[in-house]
């Protein structure tokens, strides 16, 4: 607003009072905002498959003390369901315990990084050798195209034969060049996702022990996707494939493990590595 030069029809005080009344009336019939709780959208009901939602309950004691509780339960959008209510504290304990099972000890993470470095070096050497062999073949095709052109210029072959043979050689050259590009672009593209994955599980024990519910939720979604359910007051789910290798992991279980025990995990995580054969 800005100060005008005309004489106001109503005073500023009256104008402000009218605005307050209008605002109150506009909000009178508006439903209260739905403030979703931390774990909403994470689980489905294990009995009927509906979403698990949350609601806050307020209990006032005789002495006037007020307590607020958050309960999670099935939305029952498909009809009757025997799913039980579960306090947020109890659900948090369930999910924290589930999350901690996927913790990767730092000693294992260090060994996995060493294995990844070795694999990356070997992959790069293999790709370099393959690219070199492909470029040699491409050079050979260039020579054939040049000789073919000389034959055409000297009129040793007719135009139709020349174009047919040249097209065949050019197609073969293009296929080899595409293979070279694949090697150069993808030889080590799996390494960075692997490093990120190795980093994430190291902190899951700290996240599980914290009170940061949104962070727990995002971590659980990475591990389980949409596979978490609440059944009989218990959180259950099937982890995504590359997380299954860590299921049940804890420091005591890893203490006597050898480097050979790490191989299945790294092999599973390297599933995105390209395997090209010239």
| Separation between Cα atoms, residue 234 and residue 151, nearest integer Å | 80
**Contact assessment for residue 217 and residue 42, using Cβ atoms and an 8 Å cutoff:** yes
Please report the pLDDT score of residue 256 as a whole number: 45
| Separation between Cα atoms, residue 161 and residue 167, nearest integer Å | 10
**What are the domain boundaries of the chain?**
106-191
pTM for the model: 0.60
List Cα–Cα distances, 18 to 4, 9, 30, 32, 197, in angstroms. Answer: 20, 14, 19, 23, 58
Edge-to-edge strands of the sheet including 234-237? 44-45, 228-231, 234-237
- Which segments in the chain show pLDDT lower than 50? 1-2, 28, 31-34, 248-263, 270-278
B/e letters for 21-53, b = 16+ CB within 10 Å, e = fewer, are eeeeeeeeeeeeeeeebbbeebbbbbbbebebb
Please report the pLDDT score of residue 50 as a whole number: 95
Model pLDDT for residues 120-165, shown as the tens digit of each residue: 888 888 888 999 999 999 999 999 999 999 998 888 889 999 999 9
CB neighbour list of residue 181: distance below 8 Å, 6 or more residues apart? none
């Amino acid at each position: 607003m800005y100060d005008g030069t005309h004489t106001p029809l109503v005073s500023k005080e009256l104008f402000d009072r009218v605005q307050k009344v209008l605002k109150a009336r506009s909000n009178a019939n508006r439903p209260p905002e739905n403030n979703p709780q931390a774990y909403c959208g994470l689980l489905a009901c294990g009995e009927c498959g509906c979403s698990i939602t949350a609601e806050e309950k307020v209990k006032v004691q005789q002495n006037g003390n007020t307590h607020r509780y958050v309960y999670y339960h099935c939305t029952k959008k498909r009809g009757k369901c025997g799913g039980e209510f579960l306090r947020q504290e109890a659900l948090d304990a369930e999910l924290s315990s589930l999350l901690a099972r996927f913790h990767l000890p730092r000693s294992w993470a260090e060994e996995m990084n060493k294995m990844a470095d070795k694999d990356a070096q070997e992959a790069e050497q293999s790709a370099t050798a393959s690219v070199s062999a492909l470029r040699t073949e491409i050079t050979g095709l260039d020579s054939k195209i040049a000789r073919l052109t000389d034959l055409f210029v000297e009129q040793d072959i007719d135009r139709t034969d020349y174009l047919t043979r040249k097209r065949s050689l050019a197609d073969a050259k293009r296929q080899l060049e595409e293979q070279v590009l694949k090697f150069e672009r993808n030889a080590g593209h799996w390494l960075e996702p692997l490093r990120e994955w190795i980093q994430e599980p190291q902190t899951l024990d700290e996240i599980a022990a914290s009170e940061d519910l949104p962070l727990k939720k995002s971590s659980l979604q990475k591990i389980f996707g949409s596979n978490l359910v609440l059944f009989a007051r218990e959180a259950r789910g099937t982890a995504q494939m590359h997380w299954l290798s860590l299921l049940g992991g804890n420091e005591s279980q890893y203490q006597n493990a050898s480097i050979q025990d790490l191989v299945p995990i790294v092999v599973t995580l390297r599933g995105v590595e390209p395997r090209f054969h010239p």
